[in-house]
């Protein structure tokens, strides 16, 4: 399995993403002040940056991202919205959105270690696409650690997810919409990039 070892804060700075979107708290460096350069950006560069931004936010490598894009393109709905919906419905992203991990990388690790169950079965593949009605439960051995993480964050759960604090169980109640995402991205640029 390939692992992305990109330095997070440098990459966020380059792509123009707020590190809080990824779950990282960022303290600006005093030593490294970025000099603003005015450089005209080509159309290709703009499209590439938008694609890299989406890939980086969700922690998806190029080959996997292309497969997700191909699935979105085959659907009858709007390709850009479907692409974002498929990325949001990934198991690791849903765990992050529920507040059971501080970052998407951490949520992937929790899934790989078998701390979470999907529809009553242990699933250790973070890239599984969830459907409406799927139920995520926390294994007994990980309940205490995940409870501490969840309640220390006070993260707002999106409207398309439902979480039961007593049972420590979550459910996908609807599909995410474009308005549910908390970052700025032009998905039309990604479609233009791949349609060349």
CATH code where residue 142 lies: 3.10.290.10
Does the pLDDT at position 13 exceed 90? no
Q: What percent of the chain has pLDDT over 90?
A: 18
Residue 3, domain member (yes or no): no
- For residues 154-160, average pLDDT: 82
For residue 153, what are the domain limits? 90-174
Rounded mean pLDDT of 47-70? 90
Q: Tell me the average pLDDT of the chain.
A: 83
Tens of pLDDT, residues 59-95: 888 999 999 999 999 988 888 889 999 999 999 999 9
User: Taking 70 as the threshold, does the pLDDT of residue 151 lie above it?
Assistant: no
pLDDT of residue 120: 87
Are 31 and 17 part of one and the same domain? yes
165-188 pLDDT, tens digit per residue, is 788 888 999 988 888 787 888 888
Q: Which of 146, 164, 157, 58 is nearest to 110 (CA)?
A: 146
Predicted local distance difference test score (pLDDT) of residue 40: 81
pTM of this structure = 0.83
**Residue 110 sits in the same domain as residue 165:** yes
pLDDT at 116 exceeding the cut of 80: yes
95 with 83, same domain: the answer is no
């Amino acid at each position: 399995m390939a692992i992305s070892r990109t330095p997070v804060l440098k990459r966020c700075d380059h792509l123009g993403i707020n590190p809080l979107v990824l779950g990282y708290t960022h303290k600006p460096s005093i030593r490294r002040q970025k000099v603003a350069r005015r450089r005209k950006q080509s159309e290709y560069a703009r499209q590439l940056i938008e694609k890299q931004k989406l890939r980086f936010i969700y922690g998806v490598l190029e080959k996997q991202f292309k497969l997700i894009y191909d699935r979105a393109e085959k659907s009858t709905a709007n390709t850009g919205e479907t692409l974002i919906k498929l990325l949001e419905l990934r198991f690791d992203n849903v765990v992050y959105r529920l507040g059971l991990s501080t970052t998407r990388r951490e949520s992937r690790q929790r899934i790989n270690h078998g701390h979470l169950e999907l529809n009553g079965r242990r699933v250790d593949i973070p890239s599984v696409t969830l459907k409406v009605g799927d139920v995520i439960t926390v294994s007994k051995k990980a309940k205490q650690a995940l409870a501490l993480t969840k309640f220390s964050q006070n993260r707002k759960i999106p409207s398309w997810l439902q979480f039961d604090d007593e049972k420590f169980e979550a459910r996908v109640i609807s599909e995410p919409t474009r308005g549910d995402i908390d970052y700025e991205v032009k998905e039309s640029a990604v479609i233009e990039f791949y349609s060349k």
